[in-house]
Amino acid sequence: MTFSRTLRLAAFAALALAAVVACKREPTPPPSTATPPPAAAATSGDYDEHSYAEPDKVAIDDLALALAIDFDTRTLAGTATYTLDWRDPEAMELVLDTRDLAIERVEGEAEGGAWQPLQHTLAARDALLGSKLTIAAPERNARIRVSYRTSPEASGLQWLDAAMTQGKATPFMFSQSQAIHARSWVPLQDTPRVRYTYSAEVTAPAEVMVLMSADNDPAAARDGSYSFRMPQKIPSYLMAIAAGDLVFKPISARSGVWAEPAAVDGAVAEFADTEKMIATTEALYGPYRWERYDLLLLPPSFPFGGMENPRLSFITPTVVVGDKSLVSLIAHELAHSWSGNLVTNSSAKDGWLNEGFTSYVENRIVEALYGKELSDMEYVIARNALATEIKDMPPELQALAVRPGVMKDPDEGLSGVSYDKGAWFLQFLEERFGRAEFDVFLRGYFDHFAFQSISTATFVDYARTHLLEKYPGKVTMAEFDTWLYEPGIPAGAPKVLSRRFGVVDTARLGWLGSAQLPPPVITDAWVTQEWVHFLEGMPETLTTVQLSQLDTSYAFTGTPNGEIAMRWYPLAVRSGYVQANPAIAAFLQKIGRRKLIMPTYEALVATEGGLALAKDVFARARPGYHPITTASVEKVIAEAKPVASSGMAPAPPAIDATVVAPEPERPAMPVADGDPTRPAPAKR
């Protein structure tokens, strides 16, 4: 830790302490999940166990932020003013979610407009949920204002020194609020059940551009003082802010890219189809309701692929690979403008309503714009991963609609079940009811529940009327229940076959048997997905001779394509292919996107030598990692059970490439019971 960082922490600790003395403390709460949901709500599925808020009593209608961004102290400081909707006539308290916030003052607006202090209590910190802030408001004030300051360790913010940016001259900061990190930078009712409009006045150093999930002006003057408004009601996990040396280039009249100057042209070229994607989705599901749709290209430390912050999706730079082969990620984040941002899951346990619908819509966009061969390949990759993932999952987490109390950490809810089983269910419905009918249904669903947060039960009610009863005899309620509440993939699930993956399977099998690689005329035309499938079907380990042969022909080691790297490096590690270690170290230090790097860390920690390398790389990479990525890597290292190794990885099996028994051919369609030789799929 640097000296200045120590100082910053000490300063924050002092502030936090001051805030603590200013308000009463509650004793340490019981573990979060011990808080029992009200009996009725627990069964309705509407209760959100990941928030302390009590929106049935009082709900935030509008939030006005006034914040100063301070890169020196790595803090946001200012006020949050809530306009409140007092729903329960008995209610006299506003309960907010916070995590690691120093609460400096709480005031309520009196009838005459004067602001008066309000009593408040900040509870002890729960590791998962943070600190409940209870504000006594016997007058049921129409507006309440909280003055606060964030911690430099806020779980929802990442601060990057200028040295960690592309331009090396300006620091960078960005938020990641989903699932429950908004509370670490704004005190609020951090549950998707509550939707509100917001505005913000933000100050920053003059050379820094600030953007939010709101009405960013592509022509805004960069002067250190910025105003935002989000007139559509959004849930808290869609609160977003970013600041840095950001410039804008348009893609169309209503969309464009914000990025660091050196990256903007590449991103505009890669994402050139964004307007077509918007138009395609509108043709399917109705108008885009958020005015502009811009993309913000983040530094490589962004822990996710993308985040659907309204009007401004946050995007990892790892999808800029030069051939548009990974732009389904843009289709995905855009699709959330209907599934998720417009119609929102009312709690994380119904996350499939967001991610499953979005993965289905994403696939439809990809099919419409790039053809069925690509959308099929993407479905096969996702479902092969799901089959492997599901094998080690407790049955109760394999249901689309997760029962109350089952999902501990909503960040762990990011499994292939919500995404890929969810999309699979909708594809099943599409097949049974017919595409035209199902498209009409989905469009009606988005219209009907626009700007609302709903549970699985509400979706089922709507589907009962608008699908099951409208088209009798096609799908039964029992089939719905199996998909929604049972583990595994139902027997009648649609099959996806990929012709192009058939070619890839043959090529791999041929090479494993004969050491003859497919002719370049075949592989020269392969896109990322085909390389991914080629590698995913490989045996657990290969010989050094085999790996070198692949490397010589395809230059996998050092590939700039993270989707390929995340499959190649674990194979290299498991096979003891130590030549790749410098490239592995460089990859893990450059990229912070969890999905891309975790498989390699997981492979490394399996042996003592690998674990040592993982620890060494992590120590160097850590200052550049996001708190979410840091937590994941720490967990893998802490839970490692390495076996003794003489070198960096287990000795390669004593087999000769020329006599190796061919692997049984992996069908190009998903395998229901997975494949025991395959590594666990990456965490998203």
- Residues annotated as catalytic (active site), given as ranges: 333, 419
Q: Which stretch binds Zn ion (CB under 5 A): 244-252, 352-360, 584-592, 657-665?
A: 352-360
Say which entry of ligand BES, Zn ion, none residue 357 contacts (CB below 5 to 8 A, set by partner kind). Answer: none
Enumerate residues 378-417 that contact ligand BES by CB under 6 A.
Answer: 411, 414
Residue with smaller CB distance to ligand BES, 317 or 576: 317
Q: How far apart are CA 181 and CA 154, in angstroms?
A: 8
- Chain positions 624 to 683 lying near Zn ion, rule: CB under 5 A, are none
d(Cα 569, Cα 600) in Å, to the nearest integer? 6
- Which residues in 171-200 contact ligand BES (CB under 6 A)? 178-179
- Burial class from Cβ neighbours inside 10 Å (0-12, 13-18, 19+) for residue 436 reads exposed
Q: Which of residues 409-468 bind ligand BES (CB under 6 A)?
A: 411, 414, 419
**Minimum CB distance to Zn ion, residue 469 (Å):** 30
Binding residue (CB under 6 A) for ligand BES from 145, 193, 195, 336: 336
CB 581 within 8 A of CB 617: no
- Tell me the residue number closest to ligand BES, measured at CB: 305
Closer Cβ to ligand BES, 329 or 571, answer by number: 329
If the CB atoms of residues 172 and 304 are measured against ligand BES, the closer one turns out to be 304
Whose structure tokens read 């004793």? 27
* Distance, CA of 75 to CA of 318 (rounded, Å): 28
Contact assessment for residue 417 and residue 352, using Cβ atoms and an 8 Å cutoff: yes
Closest CB 358 distance from Zn ion, rounded Å:
5
Binding region for Zn ion (CB under 5 A) out of 254-262, 351-359, 447-455, 576-584: 351-359
Q: Which amino acid is at 419?
A: Y
With CB under 5 to 8 Å by kind, the binding choice for 307 among Zn ion, ligand BES, none is ligand BES
What is the smallest separation between the CB atom of 333 and Zn ion, expressed in angstroms? 7
**Pairing between β-strand 58-70 and β-strand 196-203 as defined by DSSP bridges:** parallel
Residue ranges in 278-317 that form contacts with ligand BES under rule CB under 6 A? 304-308
CA 150 to chain centre: 22
Is residue 144 within the footprint of ligand BES (CB under 6 A)? no
Q: Which of 150, 297, 173, 310 is nearest to 229 (CA)?
A: 310
User: What residue type is 358 in one-letter code?
Assistant: T
Segment 576 to 595, residues that bind ligand BES, using CB under 6 A = 595
The answer to whether 333 contacts ligand BES (rule: CB under 6 A) is: yes
Strand stretches in 334-383, DSSP E:
343-345
Residue 126 backbone dihedrals phi, psi, to 5 degrees: -90, 135
Quick check: helix, strand or coil at residue 546? helix
Going by C-beta distance under 8 Å and a sequence separation of 6 or more, which residues neighbour residue 486?
Answer: 398, 399
Does residue 329 touch ligand BES according to CB under 6 A? yes
Minimum distance between the CB of residue 302 and ligand BES, rounded to whole angstroms? 9
Q: Determine which helix (DSSP H) or strand (DSSP E) holds 456, and give its type and residue range.
A: helix 456-463
Query: Is 118:135 a contact under the CB 8 Å cutoff?
Result: yes
**270 touches, from Zn ion, ligand BES, none (C-beta below 5 to 8 Å by class):** none
Task: Please name the residue ranges forming H helices in 139-273.
Answer: 264-270
Q: Which residues bind Zn ion (CB under 5 A)?
A: 355, 358
Q: Which residues bind ligand BES (CB under 6 A)?
A: 178-179, 304-308, 329, 332-333, 336, 355, 411, 414, 419, 595, 684
